[in-house]
Structure 1
């Protein structure tokens, strides 16, 4: 009787779980669509990948457009390579970005200098221009 009442009040647990799973998948798909638009992807060779987007004229600070761990990190890296987004290995920075940022959020102030060095490297790599 209590179980039936809980289902009525809160909804069926299996249905709620399925809705949450579908929401996560939709968010993951949207995130992956942003990887080709990234300025650079910072990686820890295999475990972490964080895609950053920065437009000097439009943004106060770089924004995390995608991040992943393990399998998702590998997918982000592959997508970046396929779309010619520079991939930069910097394990401490990749881990710090992964742990301290949410997707859609600007990077924290304490990581500005490290990210600026990555963006400067990408700028030089791209002969004086940042990726579109």
Structure 2
């Protein structure tokens, strides 16, 4: 076996191992403990012409989170606070039916920090 073939096999094995460790290549999964922030009401058609000169004073709009009653047992306050003073909530995947989050009526705002625990989080279609 040539060294070039062996090198290709090693690189392929490393790639497959890293994909397996990350839960595959699906964009539906989020690793436990990761903070996920998103704004789902934009159309993604920004022009990218910003100058990057924001003052960073943190005086932007606060979006209040809404947690429906059906998810209150899975999305709970931890009693901890982030460095910026916001409360931290856990999203416990093991407390979700089938391990999937049904987003009906759920709004994850920027008023608190959400932390995923108990496995990879999947979002169902309702």
Could you state the TM-score of these two structures normalised by the residue count of structure 1?
Answer: 0.28
Could you state the TM-score of these two structures normalised by the residue count of structure 2?
Answer: 0.28
- Larger relative contact order (C-alpha < 8 A, sep ≥ 6)? 2
Bigger helix share: 1
